[in-house]
Homo-oligomer: A and B are copies of this chain.
Amino acid sequence: MIGRLNHVAIAVPNLDAAAALYRDTLGAEVGPPQDELDHGVTVIFITLPNTKIELLYPLGDNSPIASFLEKNPAGGIHHICYEVEDILVARDKLKADGARVLGTGEPKIGAHGKPVLFLHPKDFTGTLVELEQV
């Protein structure tokens, strides 16, 4: 069911410093910051040959990553995103297998303009998993 690894998302306490680290020290292709108001984050995409790294920084008062950064002040891997062909088919299969979908269970539009859902980390080996329909 799952296809490509779309991205690994890393929450960072300093977006400029993290962008410089990936661009100058690690020599990767680093995009511009993008404010995602609906998701409460500013994101920077790092393009690797086969997938992307998504740097996440809190935006606004109710950012979903603020508490993560409180617990992990140096930053850390926040979630991984797998691509699926049909997000509703995937959701229904996962729910039938007993996995919990976060929020209302209805897909939202993610940072790439595609429908996304998040799955409960406790049902996925302690890992927050995003599914994105491509």
Asked if residues B122 and A51 are in contact (CB atoms below 8 Å), the reply is no
Known: A18-B125, A99-B25. A80 touches B3 (CB 8 A): no
A127 CB-CB contact with B under 8 Å? yes
Interface 1/0s, chain A 46-64, versus B by CB < 8 A?
0011110101000000000
Within 8 A of B (CB), among A55-108: 55, 72, 74-77, 80, 82, 93-94, 97, 99
Total copies of the chain: 2
Asked if residues B49 and A51 are in contact (CB atoms below 8 Å), the reply is no
Asked if residues A3 and B49 are in contact (CB atoms below 8 Å), the reply is yes
Extra 13 A-B pairs, beta carbons < 8 Å, given A2-B27, A4-B48, A75-B127? A1-B26, A3-B49, A4-B49, A5-B48, A5-B51, A5-B53, A13-B125, A25-B99, A50-B50, A50-B51, A51-B51, A55-B125, A76-B127
